[in-house]
Amino acid sequence: MHTLTRQQLILLVLITLVWGINWPIMKVGVTGYPPLTFRTLSMWVGLPVLGLFIWWRRVPLRIEREHWPELARLTVFNMLIWHTVIVLALQTLSSGRAVILGYTMPVFSALIGGWWFGQRLLGRAWAGVAAAALGVTLLLWHELTTMVGAPWGVVAMLVGAMTWAVGTQMLRHTRIPQPTLAISFWLTLFTTVWMTALSLAFEREAWRWPTPAIWWAVVYNGLGVFAFAQVAWLSLARDLPPIASTLSVMFIPVLGVFSGAWWLGEVLHWQDWAAVALLMVAIASVLWPSRRPASG
């Protein structure tokens, strides 16, 4: 098990807040507006800010040619698939359903880590995975009937969650020696170009000037998500053991569900409150300090 440093804990709290309330904000952004274009605008807002921060910190951006194939794989599994499918699927799902499905990622990550990367999980970690899985199941309790009518969105979110889980494991095992800030910049740049190309190819005829509400959502995503939360998450995912970094973000869907209920008027049930308790158990199971054996 792993104990977070003060800086890691602060980053985790900020990531949870920024990403948690972002789901209803994204729903506003993609409702009645081309989703790929919305994501593209957000990334073009965030990328220059991220670049200026890296320049201010004097972080070298050069990636040796021998690491380009691995950088490409990290981009595909951490960014390209995830950011493409979530904005498309979010048009067919409520923000609460989307965030629940998206944050099945920690469960997939734990299973992939044990199967693919040979990571041995202790009993307390498996208990955390089980609690997280049960919590997500409870959150989905009242959504299953509605989701039958939107199977594409459900499948897309689960595919996105699985690929993100693979990407998290790949980032943890990366051989690229450059700082995480440099890797984050290149991942964001390549994804911005990708989203721009998709928007140009599929939504050009639907382009129009965003309303003030959509501009607000664009700026929030650009600054909050791409200039901060995405980079902070990649840093935690690289520095912490995968089971700790992934289950530690399990409070994001809780915040997403409750902020969506407050903002968008979705009804909450007892299963939602039970899921909150289970996800807190999942977080504590991997982040609570282990008891040190007494010295004799």
3-state secondary structure (DSSP) of residue 71:
helix
Answer yes or no: pTM beyond 0.85. no
Name the more confident of 212 and 276. Answer: 212
Residue 8 carries which DSSP code? H
Average pLDDT over residues 288-295: 49
pLDDT in tens, 250-284: 677 777 777 877 777 766 677 767 776 776 676 66
**Is 62:176 a contact under the CB 8 Å cutoff?**
no
Q: What's residue 296's pLDDT?
A: 42
Q: What tokens appear for 49 in the block? A: 């800010």
Domain range list for the chain: 6-287
**Is 68:217 a contact under the CB 8 Å cutoff?**
no
Percent of the chain with pLDDT over 70: 77
Q: What's residue 100's pLDDT?
A: 76
pLDDT in tens, 69-91: 999 999 999 999 999 999 998 88
